[in-house]
Homo-oligomer: A and B are copies of this chain.
């Protein structure tokens, strides 16, 4: 059975993303930090890792961009998971009983319309959404709720009282799959690279021209500072195609003429937008 490392504890959205990508027939390997996830794959404690790289509302997770450059793993897949927030309770708790709601501050903020409608409820911040579900379970009270993934309800034997309580349903987190080696070439793939340009006029424009001149579509550009070189930047670029395609090879060779640093992070099948099928009572 494949072992998949993720950051967080059981019930984290990363655990749900793991099952949605790999299916349920895997062993999950929870780790404390994102760096620990990279380590687990490098050391062989896990076959693959899964990390969030951007959320469609909050933006990029820069720590993981930095780790992709520092560590020597490759990206071999992606999945875009709909972030569905659920109101999770001990069995038998009714909506009108709830006096306190625990969750991560970002999840509380993303459910503010729902929480405002439940007037007089105390909101309590905890470090992560999964921990809020575990807390509800441990305390066993019937006047408290957590906001977490459907997977957290499954993991801790709790009930989903309401599902989809987030204000903006266009809330997706894109996760990347990390492996030691590139997979075989597939159809409908994209490639991620990181590079820094030489100090030449119009460097950013010229670096993008190597793709535009070959009609290679770009999906995302992200800039990060180069430590020790103030006001110089690394660019993380996602573009259409596989690094083993001839046109991509030509573009990369062209980019090498103007780049001082260049690293290919991986080629992988473009991920679908996925909605978990875990359902609640929705009373």
Tell me whether B205 and A218 are in contact (CB under 8 A). Answer: yes
With a cutoff of 8 Å between Cβ atoms, the chain B residues found around residue A92 in the complex are none
In this complex, how many residues of chain A approach chain B with their Cβ under 8 Å: the count is 37
Q: Counting chain B CB atoms within 10 Å of each CB, which of A62, A202, A215, A230 scores highest?
A: A230
Q: A222-B223, A225-B54, A230-B170 are known contacts. Are A205 and B211 too (CB-CB below 8 A)?
A: yes
With a cutoff of 8 Å between Cβ atoms, the chain B residues found around residue A205 in the complex are 205, 208-209, 211-212, 218
Tell me whether B220 and A59 are in contact (CB under 8 A). Answer: no
- A195 to B100: give the CA distance in the assembly, Å: 41
Q: A55-B225, A56-B225, A224-B59 are known contacts. Are A218 and B204 too (CB-CB below 8 A)?
A: yes
Q: Does A154 contact B (CB under 8 A)?
A: no
Tell me whether B62 and A227 are in contact (CB under 8 A). Answer: no
With a cutoff of 8 Å between Cβ atoms, the chain B residues found around residue A204 in the complex are 208, 218, 221
Tell me whether B59 and A168 are in contact (CB under 8 A). Answer: no
With a cutoff of 8 Å between Cβ atoms, the chain B residues found around residue A219 in the complex are 231
Residue from the list B80, B168, B209 in contact with A228, Cβ < 8 A: B168
